[in-house]
């Protein structure tokens, strides 16, 4: 048996060399920038070829037209405007045109609206979109410590797609078959949301939905009992850190002096921005996306039945500042940089496909609307059911 091992090894290396030669393998050109003091090993390495593709994919679309802020308010002109009521008619129409381009350029207005009755909330996409407007306003108003003056619009995440390219959901497959010996502690498979490593696979739930502490570093040389974290927590933290690094297309050294991962006074300022980013993402996921669970159809959820959630890559898409730090907000000041009403309807009463108006309690919640068209009339029976149930 033993004799075969060297043979196998050399055959293996020959094959490897052959495959490099065959494919004309060459090291990719890498661009290196020093970002810390000499001797600290703090560099960012970037694959030059990938940079071109990233630049092409991160161009900000222009506003369809400059909106006139004067004129009657949307709330007085339309029947069911609950968040954007303060916009002028022109601003409102400009915003509808923009979100169509950002979220559903192919389906158009009908992705969110029944064209016969624009006021009805019968398509779940419209109910989600209204909540997303509140969410984007909250990002720009409450999370300036992260998004600064650049801020975010729907385009930052959606990029012309109804479901953003980068999201996460609870990742626990394949489930261990049974008894204790087969428990793999949630790791040792390809962690989809942990950069394809074999680190713990479902950690974004702990850190980017729940607020589990991200503290594993001991501050004393010997285990004195002050640090409750063990190897398990450390591995989970690294899985999150790999997600963060991959999302921004950076190395650990963008935020840490690896001499001491814990030391804030030795960390670049980006680490503080990232700290606020972690809290912002928890707010987005816990207070906006998770709440929409009853509204999303099952086909739009992950294998565990949870809604798709936001991670660092949802906005960053592989670059250190989303869209290279170019702001789109100047064209949407009234729609996205201030908060409209923040009240939330009871989504558990939502009946998809029914002519209805979802509104917070006290504001005619989930009231069936007068059907104004043929389409609405077809839906009337379920509207009546809803009244009967109320
Ligand atoms: C991504 C979803 C989405 C798309 C696409 C969309 N809308 Fe809307 N629309 C909404 C939401 C959400 C509201 C309610 C806003 C609020 O409550 O503040 C709304 C409200 C309206 C209203 C007010 C209706 C009323 O009487 O209450 C009109 C008119 C309207 N949209 C027109 C359009 C037009 C025209 C297009 C296509 C250019 C369009 N929308 C595309 C989500 C969308
Ligand atoms: C921080 C990132 C982020 C921002 C900003 C954002 N969205 Fe979303 N949106 C998501 C994610 C993630 C989903 C997918 C949720 C799911 O499928 O479970 C989603 C889903 C949606 C859907 C449902 C699509 C479908 O087909 O199921 C609509 C409609 C939508 N967003 C509209 C908007 C609008 C309009 C804006 C701007 C006012 C906006 N979003 C801003 C992350 C974002
Ligand atoms: C985009 C910035 C960023 C990048 C990139 C990053 N980290 Fe972090 N790291 C943070 C922040 C912020 C915290 C603290 C989080 C908190 O307290 O909520 C942290 C915490 C940690 C901790 C825990 C420190 C302690 O006090 O116990 C470790 C370990 C760590 N990071 C390792 C890494 C490794 C390894 C990498 C590369 C794979 C990495 N980080 C990449 C921002 C970053
Ligand atoms: C809602 C979109 C959004 C999400 C989600 C998001 N970011 Fe950001 N992030 C931004 C914007 C916008 C900026 C640019 C702010 C500026 O230039 O003032 C930024 C800037 C940063 C920076 C500073 C970059 C620099 O060089 O100055 C870091 C670091 C960062 N984000 C880390 C993260 C991490 C880590 C996460 C996930 C926990 C995250 N971000 C999630 C929008 C987002």
Query: Which tens digit of pLDDT belongs to each residue from 178-197?
Result: 766 567 788 888 999 999 99
Of 115-119, 193-197, 354-358, 377-381, minimum mean pLDDT range: 377-381
Percent of the chain clearing pLDDT 70 (strictly above): 85
Q: Pick the closest to residue 112 from 128, 101, 97, 88 (CA basis).
A: 128
CA distance 216 to 223: 12
Of 35-44, 177-186, 211-220, 336-345, where does the model show the most confidence? 336-345
Of 110-119, 147-156, 168-177, 249-258, minimum mean pLDDT range: 168-177
Res 382: pLDDT? 40
Percent of the chain clearing pLDDT 90 (strictly above): 70
The residue contributing the CA closest to ligand 4 atom 20 is 321
Res 23: pLDDT? 56
Residue range 364-385: average pLDDT?
46
CA 241–ligand 3 middle distance (angstroms) = 6
pLDDT at 384 over 50: no
Res 350: pLDDT? 95
Closest ligand (CA of 266): 3
From residue 379, alpha-carbon distances to 124, 338, 369, 390 in Å are 15, 36, 11, 17
pLDDT at 12 over 60: no
Yes or no: say if 111 and 104 are a contact pair by the CB < 8 Å rule.
Answer: yes
Res 296: pLDDT? 97
Of 63, 83, 118, best ligand 1 pocket probe by most atoms within 8 Å of the beta carbon:
118
Res 229: pLDDT? 85
Neighbouring residues of 366: CB distance < 8 A, sequence distance ≥ 6: 345, 346, 349, 350, 351, 356, 357, 358, 359, 386, 390
Write the pLDDT tens digit of every residue in 101-153: 999 999 999 999 999 999 999 999 999 999 999 999 999 999 999 999 999 99
Yes or no: say if 86 and 180 are a contact pair by the CB < 8 Å rule.
Answer: no
Closest ligand (CA of 345): 1
Burial 321-350 (b: 16+ CB within 10 A, else e): bbbeeebbbebbebbbeeebeeebbebeeb
Does ligand 2 come within 6 angstroms of the Cβ of 167?
yes
Residue recorded with tokens 């949630």: 186
Tell me what the pLDDT averaged over the chain comes to. Answer: 87
Res 261: pLDDT? 94
Res 16: pLDDT? 52
pLDDT at 19 over 70: no
Write the pLDDT tens digit of every residue in 264-322: 999 999 999 999 999 999 999 999 999 999 999 999 999 999 999 999 999 999 999 99
Yes or no: say if 46 and 249 are a contact pair by the CB < 8 Å rule.
Answer: yes
CA distance 246 to 313: 8
CA 25–ligand 3 middle distance (angstroms) = 34
């Amino acid at each position: 048996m033993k004799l075969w091992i060297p043979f196998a090894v050399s055959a293996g290396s020959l094959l490897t060399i052959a495959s490099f030669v065959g494919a004309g393998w060459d090291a990719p050109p890498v661009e290196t920038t020093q970002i810390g003091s000499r001797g600290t090993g703090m560099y960012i390495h970037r694959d030059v070829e990938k940079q071109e593709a990233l630049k092409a994919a991160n161009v900000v679309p222009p506003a369809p037209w400059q909106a006139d802020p004067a004129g009657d308010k949307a709330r007085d002109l339309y029947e069911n405007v609950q968040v954007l009521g303060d916009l002028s008619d022109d601003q409102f129409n400009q915003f509808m045109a923009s979100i169509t381009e950002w979220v559903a350029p192919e389906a158009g207005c009908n992705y969110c609206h029944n064209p016969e009755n624009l006021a009805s909330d019968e398509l779940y996409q419209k109910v989600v979109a209204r909540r997303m407007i509140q969410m984007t306003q909250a990002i720009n108003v409450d999370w300036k410590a992260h998004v600064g003056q650049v801020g975010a619009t729907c385009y930052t995440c959606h990029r012309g797609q109804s479901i953003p390219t980068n999201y996460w959901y609870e990742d626990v497959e394949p489930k261990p078959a049974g008894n204790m010996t087969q428990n793999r502690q949630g790791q040792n498979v390809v962690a989809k949301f942990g950069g394809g490593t074999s680190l713990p696979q479902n950690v974004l739930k702990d850190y980017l939905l729940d607020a589990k502490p991200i503290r594993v570093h001991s501050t004393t040389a010997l285990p004195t009992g002050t640090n409750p974290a063990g190897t398990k927590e450390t591995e989970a933290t690294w899985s999150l850190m790999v997600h963060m690094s991959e999302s921004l297309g950076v190395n650990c050294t963008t935020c840490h002096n690896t001499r001491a991962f814990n030391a804030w006074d030795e960390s670049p300022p980006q680490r503080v921005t990232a700290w606020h980013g972690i809290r912002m993402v928890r707010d987005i996921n816990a207070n906006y996306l998770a709440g929409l669970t009853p509204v999303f159809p099952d086909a739009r959820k992950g294998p565990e039945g949870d809604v798709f959630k936001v991670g660092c890559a949802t906005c960053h898409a592989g670059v250190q500042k989303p869209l290279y730090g170019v702001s789109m907000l100047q064209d949407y000041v009234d729609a996205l940089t201030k908060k409209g009403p923040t009240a939330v309807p009871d989504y558990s009463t939502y009946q998809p496909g029914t002519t209805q108006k979802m509104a917070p309690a006290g504001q005619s919640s989930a009231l069936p609307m007068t059907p104004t068209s043929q389409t609405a009339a077809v839906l009337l029976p379920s509207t009546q059911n809803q009244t009967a149930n109320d």
